[in-house]
Amino acid sequence: MNHGKPRPVLIQPEDTSIRLIALTRGFVVKVDVSDYEDLMCNLWGVMKCRDKWYAYRTHIINGQKTSLLLHRYLLGLTPGDGIVVDHDNGDGLDCRRDNLRKGGTAENGQNRGIQANNTSGFKGVTPYRYNPEFWVAQIKAFGKHKHLGLFREKEKAARAYDEAAIRLHGRYARLNFPEEHPTSSHARPRAAQPPPTAPIESSPALRL
């Protein structure tokens, strides 16, 4: 990693349990205060992988340079272990331990937000290709796509997806209408985090 300019001094949150660490290119990562001192011993950069942004640093393994993601470092994970880390709120730069969960590729996908090519604005809802007046609700579970029905209103299709997500994805579900399930542990918002304004090059796919 190119360390570049000295790391800027940040104004820290009033919540003393949270600390911010400056990354390269003007980005910041949120961590627990208990991890702050250890993490500040290294300079961390920022990279984009798929549709999210992550903190990382260069790491040497068997004489070879590789990228060590901050959230994997916090959980003590090693390359090739097959473990994927899920950020509960969808923000790859929120590395508080309560926001990190170990899982597999399938669980990580279940918690993913709306994809960039989605035109409905709701997860699991797409236009019906044969009639633009209808919307299709579908969900992927156990490696297979499940058709949930056709709806004239995309909001109804989105609610059908929510019901199926709670039933099939459990605690990994990301809902379209989390406010309608206030007592559920699945009540996480559907929207992805807004992209940062700073430009950055995309990086090859990593074991997240």
Q: Please tell me whether the overall predicted TM-score, pTM, comes out greater than 0.75 for this model.
A: no
Q: Look at 3 and 132; give whichever has higher pLDDT.
A: 132
Closest CA to 47 of 36, 58, 63, 61: 58
Q: Is the C-alpha dihedral spanning 115, 120, 123, 127 positive or negative? A: negative
For residue 200, give both structure tokens.
Answer: 């950055």
Per-residue pLDDT reduced to its tens digit, 120-138: 889 899 999 899 899 999 9
pLDDT higher than 80, residue 54? yes
- Scored b (16 or more CB within 10 A) or e, 72-100 reads bbbeebeeeeeebbbbbebbbbbbbeebb
Question: What is the average per-residue pLDDT within 17-24?
Answer: 96
In CATH, what class is 18-103?
alpha beta
Give the domain ranges of the chain. 18-103, 112-180
- Rg for the chain, CA atoms, rounded: 19
Angle CA(24)–CA(11)–CA(44) in degrees, nearest 5?
25
The percent helix, strand, coil of the chain (3-state, each to 5) is 20, 30, 50
Provide the pLDDT for residue 144: 80
pLDDT score, position 116: 59
Secondary structure (3-state) at 41: coil
Question: What confidence score (pLDDT) does residue 199 get?
Answer: 36
18-103 and 112-180 have identical folds: no
Beta strands (DSSP E) in 128-178 are 135-141, 144-151
174-201: string of b/e by CB count within 10 Å (b at 16+)?
bbbebeebeeeebbbebebbeeeeeebe
For the chain, what's the residue count?
208
Q: What is the pLDDT of residue 9?
A: 84
Average pLDDT over residues 177-201: 53
Domain 112-180 has CATH 1.10.645.10: no
